[in-house]
Amino acid sequence: MVHVGETRLETKGFGDFHDITESVRQAVADSGVGNGIACVANPGSTAGITTIEYEDGALADLARALEVIAPQEGSYRHDARWHDGNGFAHLRSALVGTSRSFPVVDGTLELGTWQQVLFIDFDNRPRRRSIRIVVVGEPL
């Protein structure tokens, strides 16, 4: 059994964080899958999907770490080639990853107590984003 869900976001870019946990839970509930996998994917190369405890301190720590690894004001060959100024966003997306998979057990998305699913838009401008949630498994 396969179910394809979607959540849409209007983002600000520049490390805009969105807790999409409830959208993923809803897609799992809508799927009718009892045991399987939920894959959350961003079809793009300037955003990321990860997990974190969605609270101000952890979000600030993640933003600071990404700024150290791939600074916004860095020098990127991508920018030299395309002149779009978002080389840092592509690098951050590649490092964080554009998808994550999670277990579905007894019809429920399995996450840790303090674990939320996080979408991050790294691009250097606002965007309309469409995140796919594909749930695969055996029926309830």
pLDDT at 20: 98
pLDDT tens-digit map of 26-77: 999 999 999 999 999 999 999 999 999 999 999 999 999 999 999 999 999 9
What is the four-CA torsion angle of 69, 101, 4, 43, rounded to 10 degrees? 20
Average pLDDT, the chain: 98
Can you give the CATH number for the domain in which 78 is found?
Answer: 2.60.120.460
Overall number of domains in the chain: 1
Domain that holds residue 94: 2-139
Percentage with pLDDT > 70 across the chain? 100
Dihedral sign computed on CA atoms, order 59, 60, 65, 70? positive
Query: How far is CA 24 from each of CA 41, 70, 87, 92, rounded to the nearest angstrom?
Result: 11, 28, 29, 23
pLDDT of residue 96: 98
The amino acid at residue 6 is E
